A and B are shown apart, each in its own frame.
Chain A
C-alpha cells in the first residue's frame, strides 16, 4: 500500500483575502509521478491554490503536508521547502539582470550551495532538455516568449525539484509558441516528473493528465481521471465549462 508515496497532502485548505474567501475547503493529494491538471474558469482560485502550495500566499486555514510535515507551520523553513517544489509562472519571471545560463545556475549555486562546475553542468543539462542550450549568453529580454518559458522550466528543473507547479505556462504566449512549451512539458511528464498544471489548453490536459481537477468558485467541483472529466463529466458546472472547448 505504501509503494507510491504521497508527496503532498492538502486538506481543508482555505485562503481569504480580507473577507473574500477565495479557496474554500480544498482537499487533494499528489503522489509521485502524478500529472494533475487544474482547470476552471478564470477567477475560480486556481492560481491562488498553486501559490498557496508554494507558500507564495500564506493559507488562512487547513494544512499542506509535505512528506507528512505540515509546511504551513510557521516554524517550517519556507525556502528549503520551495527548493523541492518548483514553480513556472505565466509571465516567466526570469531574472532580467542575468544571462540564460546564470538564470539556471544562480539557484544551484546560491541556494543549493553546489560548486560552480557542478551547477553549470546541471544548468546545461536542463537547457539542453528544453532546447535552449544555444542561448546561454542571451539575456531574457532578447528571447521570445516561448524561449523564455523554456528557460524558466530549465531554471526550475535545475533545482531538481520533486514537484513542479505550472500556472498557465502558455497563456502569455503567441499561439505559434504554445507548442514548443507544451512539448517540453509532455517530455517531462513521460519521464515521470510530478506536475501540477493550471491550463486552458484542454486538448493538452486531456492528453497528458493522470488526474484532472475542475475548480469553480474556490472549491473542487469535480475531479477524476482524464477520461472521467473530459468524456463523462458528472456535474453541470463541469459540463458547462467544458462545452466551451468543443474542439476536444
Chain B
C-alpha cells in the first residue's frame, strides 16, 4: 500500500505506474512552448519592424502617415494589454470570449497555442524594438548610402544584427513558456502540471509528484539554456578567417559554393 512506503519508494511507485503520463505531459508542455515561442518571435519581429518604420513628413502622403500611425497605436495597445495582464486570465478571456462573443469554438489546443503565441509576441515585440534601436545608426546610413530602401536595410543589415542581440531574450521567453504553459491546465490542456495535479490528487502524493515534476521542468529548461548558448556560439562564427590567394579566386569561390 502506498501509505506504507517511504519517500523514495513512493517516487518509484509513481514513476512505474504513471511515468508515461508524465512524459506525455512534458511532451505537450515542450510542444506548446516551442511552437508558441517560434510563432511569438515571428509576431514580435513583425510588430517591432512596423513600430520602427520612420514616418517622413515631407515625402510620405498624409494618408500613408495616417495609416502607419493607426497601426502603430493598435500594436502599442496589443503590446501593453498582453504584457500587462496575466496569461492565465488571457487564456480564459480568449477561450471563453471567442465562443461567447463570436460563437467561435476554438478548441483548447488552438486556444493554447494562440494564447501563448500572442503573449510571447507582445514581449518579443519590445525586445525586437530595443534590438533594432541598439544597432549602431551608422549601419542604416551605410545601407542608405548604397541605395537601399528602409526595408532592404532592415532585412539585410539591421534585423540580422538585432536578431543576434536578442537571442538571449528569445531563450528567456522560451524558458518562461516552458514554465508558464502550466497555467493552461485552466482550459484543460493535459500538460506536465495537469498530470501532476491528477496523479497527486488520486494518490495523495503531492510532495513526491511535485519532486518529479520539478526535476522534469528543470531538465527541460537547463537543456534549453545549453542549446541556446550553443546556437549563439555557432551564429557568432569562427574567430579566425582564412586569407584567400587571389591568383585563383574564381575557381576557389566556385568550389566553396558547390560545397555548400
Contact = CB atoms under 8 A, between A and B. Distances in A.
Contacts, number: 95
8 contacts: A87-B145, A91-B138, A106-B156, A110-B148, A111-B146, A111-B147, A133-B249, A159-B147
Nearest to A137: B241
Contacts of A91: 138
Given A97-B160, A138-B241, A56 B145 contact: yes
Contacts of A134: 243-246
Contacts of B253: 120, 136
B145 A156 contact: yes
Contacts of A86: 145-146
A41 interface: no
Interface of A: 54, 56, 58, 74, 78-83, 86-87, 89, 91-98, 106-107, 110-112, 120, 124, 128, 133-139, 142, 152, 155-156, 159
Secondary structure of the B side of the interface? helix
Interface of B: 58-59, 136, 138-139, 141-149, 152, 156-157, 160-161, 164, 237, 241-246, 249, 253
B146 A156 contact: yes
B63 to A, nearest CB: 15
A110 B156 contact: yes
Contacts of B243: 134-135
Contact of A142 (B138, B145, B241, B246): B241
A91 B160 CA distance: 20
Nearest to A158: B146
A126 to B, nearest CB: 12
A95 B145 contact: no
Contact of A58 (B58, B138, B143, B246): B58
A110 B152 contact: yes
Contact of A79 (B141, B147, B244): B147
Given A82-B147, A134-B243, A135-B243, A97 B141 contact: no
